Structure 1
Amino acid sequence: MNIGVIGTGNMGTILIEAFLDSGAVKADQLVITNRTLAKAFAIQRAHPGIAVVADAAEVIKQSSLVFLCVKPLDIHPLLQQLAPHWTNEHYLVSITSPISVEQLEAAVPCQIVRAIPSIANRALSGSILVTFGSRCSAACRQTIDDLLRRIASPVYIDEAITRVASDISSCGPAFFSYLLQRFIDAAAAKTAITKEQATMLATDMIIGLGELLKRNLYTLPTLQEKVCVKGGITGEGIAVLEQRMNGVFEEVLAKTHEKFKEDVEKVKQQFP
């Protein structure tokens, strides 16, 4: 089965490289294109065997499973432009959250899947949020599950939690890398440690934290209990965080949901 990728920006490239690194897909099974073809050719140079084609229509002609990795407001015009080429045999996978599988099903005859990736998938880790359309056959569901499971943990979600699930799994790496960078910058600014040393220690710490959780050695609350000895140094730091962080993530979620609603409303104007 040939797999097509329309759009080789950040997430499209991450998916391509993860599929190749995991061995889930061979280079000669991939057919890709991008509005700026130079980006697609750069991927081809790194992975000889990938086919770069001139436009999205050619991707559809040569592929049975197509990943649509373009911006939300570009999807409806593209689907209309490609209308003559879609069939009910195609598996169409959209990676964007503001467009529902129901809206996509209303626009094309394909078997529709929404799969929202995370940058963690590049390391063959993290979650990928999956919602199947009503037309997906058992074969489609199995094919998609088998493919995605090679690069991530598929998590099947309802429409109602799409945004918050994406906030955690997809936006989360950016949120927490920002916090970690602020921690590093503060350490270098307030003490004699260099930024390079602080970065090394923080990187090792976050990897080790992930391993503790992955191996189910601790939960988040029990981990805090083990490190935060009553009356100790960690407890003093936690007290500052409790004071300063109160309401921060509630506000973060409020902002992401507000922006999401704006995007959903813009998309609604495009889709019947």
Structure 2
Amino acid sequence: MKKIGFIGYGSMSRMIADKLLEQEKIADEMVLVSTRTNGEKTETLRKRYPNVSFQSPEELAKQCGLIFICVPPMAVKETLTKINPFLQENAHVVSIAAGMTLDRLHAWTNRQITRYIPTLTSETGIGISLVVHSERVAEDSKKRLEGYLSAFSKVKNICESDIDAASNLTSSSPGFIAAIFEEFAQSAVRNSSLTKEEAFEFLIHSLLGTGKLLLEKQMTFEETLQRVATKGGITAEGAEVIQNAMPGVFDELFARTGKKYAEIKEAVRP
């Protein structure tokens, strides 16, 4: 089987490697890691999986048929141009960086390229992996990659033009949801004698239960609201406040994040 390389060993890179190793989709001797920082996280990986090899980016490129580029967007060009002369002829390069279009990535290498947007929720085995393959990616390469990702997530192939908006709903949404419910909990504390810990506990269980209802009962958000909010009742009153206020908030969210994606694309020239 092809060896798998990870260039960069941050939060998402660790999640991908850990899930693949935990699910026994790959053996540790198949894994190579290149990282500028050696700390507690890499030491933990060494202890749990002693056959994982730590190499320079160039050496990793020589040995691996599938390579995950897990560096910040501004470091992608430097990384790809550095390893390009050493890549195997049929290498499959997977970039997880936001804002790095396939056209731009292909300006730095002519190998098979896939954009993959992971999500933190895949640490629990639940989440959507967004995937966009370039036309150069062979069917067996697509199948291999998607087989790996499906071990800990649901894989969705989407149009590249939709990837920024979709990323808001998958990769970024845990942060957005946390920000929303932090404010919800704080408001409960301000308007009652509940402690912050109690408010968090109540909301977390409500979030978990709502998610299970939506998935297991295949309910929509609208159906859930209808089940909970009796016409003229208390929940309906609160829901109306949210429905009046939130469209503008979320439109601004998409506008602001869209501007940030555009800034990243503009900053990184071919």
TM value normalised by structure 2 = 0.93
* C-alpha distance in 2 between matches for 1:234 and 1:50: 55
Residue 163 of structure 2 is aligned to residue 151 of structure 1: no
Which residue matches 1:215?
Answer: 216
Shift of 1:46: 5.0
Computed over aligned residues only, the root mean square deviation of the Cα atoms, in angstroms, reads: 1.7
What are the residue-to-residue correspondences of 1:151-230 with 2, within 5 Å? 151-230=152-231
Counterpart mapping for 1:110-149 below 5 A: 110-149=111-150
Show CA shifts across 1:199-250 (max 9, x none). 2221111111111111134211011011010111101211222333241000
- Kindly report which structure 2 residues correspond to 1:230-269, keeping only aligned pairs within 5 A, or say none: 230-267=231-268, 269=269
Mapped to 2, the partners of 1:23 and 1:176 lie a distance apart of 31
Greater CA deviation, 2-11 or 58-67? 58-67
Instruction: Measure, in 2, the Cα distance between the counterparts of 1:147 and 1:242.
Output: 39
Structure-1-length-normalised TM-score: 0.93
The residue aligned with 2:68 is 67
Q: Which string of whole-angstrom CA distances, capped at 9 and with x for unpartnered residues, describes residues 168-218 of structure 1?
A: 111111101111111112212321222222222211111111111111342
Instruction: Give the Cα–Cα distance (whole angstroms) in 1 for the partners of residues 182 and 233 of structure 2.
Output: 24
- Separation of aligned partners in 2, 1:103 and 1:239: 44
Aligned counterparts, 1:16-95, within 5 A: 16-38=17-39, 41-45=42-46, 47-95=48-96
In the alignment, residue 152 of structure 2 is paired with which amino acid? I
- Checking the alignment, whether the CA contact within 8 Å between 1:229 and 1:235 is kept in structure 2 is yes
Q: AA paired with 1:245?
A: M
Distance 1:246 1:132, change over 3 A: closer
Q: Which runs of 5+ in 1 are unaligned?
A: none
Does structure 2 retain, via aligned residues, the 8 Å contact 1:27–1:47? no
Secondary structure at the aligned position of 2:172 is classed as helix
Aligned length: 269
Instruction: Tell me, yes or no, if the aligned pair for 2:84 and 2:109 is still in contact at 8 Å.
Output: yes
Deviation at 1:52, TM superposition (A): 4.0
Q: Show the counterpart of 1:102.
A: 103
**SS at structure 1 position matched to 2:131:** strand
Code of the residue aligned with 1:208 in structure 2: it is G
* Contact 2:61–2:86 (Cα < 8 Å) also in 1: yes
Runs of 5+ in structure 2 lacking a partner? none
- Secondary structure of the equivalent of 2:33? strand
Matches of 1:43 and 1:101, distance apart in 2: 34
Aligned partners of 1:33 and 1:40 also within 8 Å:
no
Sequence identity, in percent? 27
2:4 is matched with which residue? 3
CA distance in 2, matches of 1:4, 1:262: 29
